[in-house]
Amino acid sequence: MKKFNIAVIPGDGIGREVVPAALDVLHTISEIHGGLQFDFTEFPWSCEYYLEHGVMMPSDGMETLGAFDAVFLGSVGNPKLVPDHVSLWGLLIKIRREFEQVINIRPAKRFPGIASPLANPKEFDLLVVRENSEGEYSEVGGRIYRGDDELAIQNSIFSRRGTGTAMRFAFNLAAKRKQHVTSATKSNGVYHAMPFWDQIFNEVSKEYPGIETASCHIDALAAFLVTRPQTLDVIVASNLFGDILTDLGAAIMGSIGIAPSANINVNGKYPSMFEPVHGSAPDIVGKGIANPIGQIWTAQMMLDHFGENELGNLLLQTIEKVTAEGIKTCDIGGGATTQEVTGEICARLKLL
Ligand code: NAI
Ligand code: MG
């Protein structure tokens, strides 16, 4: 019997609707498998928690999470209660940084039955490896003066270690997929950091002679994601470029509600964290219509991470069967509720 201890943080908004849905699916997976057990421990850390305690998580929160095999997170943010820079930096970004989850993986693929805004999409199935610890998202910089002379300086940080780690991770993934990596650059505009990025990409690519490479400016690449996504497989990108590119990836799939992500700790010191790309969606919270597929596909990425690839594939195929038959929420053109989609996925898993 294999057992995994998982810390569950539903967080805010629809996180509290889609996380229970994905847990139902994981319970079903463990029923049909028999040799696999999940032990879930839920933590109420959220904006409401902040209002009560003045912090997003207790002072020993990170230590508590450190004892788990993985963190399964919904979404963080309720800008009406707590400013986003307080809530996200106090929980989501804190975990990503302190657990050294230096890589963020975000796939995008065409699902049958979900209309992509691309009129006749080819069978695209790509994956963005996003550098997750530095780059353009840094606290280095500051503000000076007030009034007409006021100015802000925001520094980007690109280290050989951080950049190389993301790139090697991408090449290793490519070795298991289509032997191709595209680097998202902007060395024609970003004067120091991006030529450095290109240089490291060149160096790292020499360690993987069997893998083909391409280097593409981020603006052109954004267009290619729309015009010919089927030509892309593994893309490696900086923190900001990867963030923007993956919302676009979600858009060409048909909805941000189906996009998953994994924050990977590569040194084995801390748990990795699995969360969908979307946020807490205050505009639809409480209506029962949040698309659970992003969170459920995120559970599939967690299964893969645990080495349960076969079960993971089974789950992904089941999601595809359910979308193909039109059982889907309204963001992707259906009329089903969160619970109906989840129930259908669980029922089909049980039939296998
Ligand atoms: P959002 O992702 O919450 O929502 C954007 C749009 O997509 C909304 O119209 C929403 O209804 C729709 N949407 C999102 N998930 C959906 C789902 N599962 N099913 C159907 N429709 C879905 O982004 P927004 O509105 O910019 O941010 C809201 C809050 O979430 C903010 O506090 C923000 O900081 C936070 N946020 C948190 C993230 C995280 O925890 N990883 C990521 C992005 C935003
Ligand atoms: Mg984003």
- The number of beta carbons lying within 10 Å of the beta carbon of residue 338 is 23
Phi, psi angles (nearest 5°) of residue 73 = -120, 145
Q: What are 117-169's pLDDT values in tens digits?
A: 888 888 999 999 999 999 999 989 999 999 999 999 999 999 999 999 999 99
What's the gap in Å between 280 CA and the centre of ligand 1?
A: 5
In this structure, which ligand is nearest to the CA of 76?
A: 1
Query: In terms of DSSP H, where are the helices of 34-176?
Result: 47-53, 61-66, 84-87, 93-98, 160-176
Largest CA distance in the chain: 68
pLDDT at residue 352, rounded to an integer: 81
* Alpha carbon of residue 243 to chain centroid: 9
Which numbered atom of ligand 1 lies nearest the CA of 261?
41
pLDDT at residue 180, rounded to an integer: 98
What string of pLDDT tens digits covers the 352 residues of the chain? 899 999 999 999 999 999 999 999 999 999 988 889 999 999 999 999 999 999 999 999 999 999 999 999 999 999 899 998 899 999 999 999 999 999 999 999 999 999 888 888 889 999 999 999 999 999 899 999 999 999 999 999 999 999 999 999 999 999 999 999 999 999 988 999 999 999 999 999 999 999 999 999 999 999 999 999 999 999 999 999 999 999 999 999 999 999 999 999 999 999 999 999 999 999 999 999 999 999 999 999 999 999 999 999 999 999 999 999 999 999 999 999 999 999 999 999 998 8
Rounded to a whole number, what is the distance in angstroms from the first to the last CA of the chain? 20
Q: What's the sign of the alpha-carbon dihedral 167, 75, 232, 198?
A: negative
What's the gap in Å between 82 CA and the centre of ligand 1?
A: 15
Which numbered atom of ligand 1 lies nearest the CA of 282?
28
Residues 6+ apart with CB under 8 A from 3: 36, 37, 38, 39
What's the gap in Å between 194 CA and the centre of ligand 1?
A: 30
Q: Whose CA is closest to atom 37 on ligand 1? A: 279
Tokens standing for residue 23: 């847990």
pLDDT at residue 55, rounded to an integer: 98
Q: Which residue type sits at 274?
A: F
What's the gap in Å between 308 CA and the centre of ligand 1?
A: 29
In this structure, which ligand is nearest to the CA of 342?
A: 1
In this structure, which ligand is nearest to the CA of 257?
A: 1
What's the gap in Å between 209 CA and the centre of ligand 1?
A: 40
Which numbered atom of ligand 1 lies nearest the CA of 293?
18
* Ordered DSSP codes for 142-206: EEE--GGG-EEEE--B--HHHHHHHHHHHHHHHHHTTSEEEEEE-TTTSTTHHHHHHHHHHHHHH
Which numbered atom of ligand 1 lies nearest the CA of 331?
20
Pocket around ligand 1 at a 6 A CB cut-off: 14, 18, 75-77, 79, 84, 88, 92, 256-257, 275, 278-284, 290-291, 294, 331
In this structure, which ligand is nearest to the CA of 256?
A: 1
Nearest to 249 by CA among 202, 294, 305, 197: 294
pLDDT at residue 250, rounded to an integer: 92
Return the best residue to mutate from 71, 75, 130, 298 for the ligand 1 pocket (most ligand atoms within 8 A of CB): 75
What CA–CA distances, in Å, run from 263 to 6, 89, 99, 128, 252? 15, 15, 9, 12, 22
DSSP 8-class letter at 16: H
Q: Whose CA is closest to atom 30 on ligand 1? A: 279
Nearest to 284 by CA among 18, 88, 8: 18
Return the best residue to mutate from 256, 263, 291 for the ligand 1 pocket (most ligand atoms within 8 A of CB): 256
Q: What domains can you pick out in the chain, each with its CATH number?
A: 1-107+259-352 (3.40.718.10), 116-253 (3.40.718.10)
Q: What are 262-282's pLDDT values in tens digits?
A: 999 999 999 999 999 999 999
Query: In terms of DSSP H, where are the helices of 228-337?
Result: 239-253, 293-305, 309-324
Q: Whose CA is closest to atom 16 on ligand 1? A: 257
Q: Whose CA is closest to atom 17 on ligand 1? A: 257
In this structure, which ligand is nearest to the CA of 289?
A: 1
Size (the chain), residues = 352
What's the gap in Å between 13 CA and the centre of ligand 1?
A: 9
Which numbered atom of ligand 1 lies nearest the CA of 77?
32
